[in-house]
Amino acid sequence: MGSPSSCVPALIRTRLRCHKKPGTPQSQERENFVSADFVAFADGRFCYAGRTARCTLGKGGVVPAADKREGDGASPAGTWRLRRVWFRPDRVAPPETGLEIVALQPDDGWCDAPGDAHYNRPVKRPYPASHEQLWRDDHVYDLIVELGYNDDPPVAGRGSAIFMHLAREDWSGTEGCVALAYQDLLDVLRLAEPGSEVEIRT
């Protein structure tokens, strides 16, 4: 969905101008200047390399990272490193990217139990503590980008499994992740390299 405008070299750390929404007051235009590689705004804009695409964030809104809690459905504001890419090998091809790629397996899960030693870590199912199944019937997790939120080290209860993944057809809110259309996520991954970051903004 992203349409190019004012060509800007990808991943050069400079202040990129994100397209503002119609009617944005002049006083707020400075907020459209971004310095991360990729920026997700609470109003549904996702900006990268001079383009603006559509995204959806947590159904609980965007909250300061210090206020993020497990199960609140909110996206943590801040800048987060793009870690690994997980993909469903039975549904999609491995994406073109500079990031590490992992093929999902039916027994892959992600622990969301704050009291568990593997909280906010990938696990193999069956797993005794609460966890999220990554091999899903829908297509939301056909392509996942693991974000470096609350993982170095994980703090119990501060939120887990914050990803970039595919949006639902109705663009409904996520459990705290950043969701994009399939083609837009592929475009982002083509630009991504080790050290790339996404900023989640209010």
What does the pLDDT look like over 15-46, one tens digit per residue? Answer: 445 655 555 444 344 345 556 899 999 999 99
Phi-psi region of 123 (alpha: psi -120 to 50; beta: other; left: phi over 0): beta
State whether residue 190 is helix, strand or coil: helix
Q: Is the pLDDT of residue 144 over 90?
A: yes
Of residues 174 and 4, more confidently modeled: 174
- Asked if residue 62 lies in contact with residue 77, where contact means CB atoms within 8 angstroms, the answer is yes
Across 86-99, average pLDDT: 99
| pTM of the complete model | 0.86
pLDDT recorded at residue 34: 52
Other Cβ atoms less than 10 A from the Cβ of 200: the count is 28
Q: For residue 14, what pLDDT is reported? A: 36
Predicted confidence band of residue 89 (pLDDT cuts 50, 70, 90): very high
Distance CA 158, CA 69 (A): 5
Q: Which of 17-26, 35-44, 66-75, 164-173 has the lowest mean pLDDT?
A: 17-26
pLDDT value for 21: 55
Count of CA atoms in the C-beta half-sphere (13 A) of 171? 9
pLDDT at 36: 87
Q: How far apart are the first and last CA of the chain?
A: 22
The pLDDT tens digits of the residues spanning 178-197 come to 999 999 999 999 999 999 99
Is the pLDDT at 13 greater than 90? The verdict is: no
Residue-wise burial string across 104-141, b where 16 or more C-beta atoms lie within 10 A, e elsewhere: beeebbbbbbbebeebbbbbeeebeeebbebeeeebbb
Q: Give the residue ranges of DSSP H helices in the chain.
A: 182-191
Q: Tell me the average pLDDT across 65-69.
A: 99
More confident residue, 198 or 13: 198
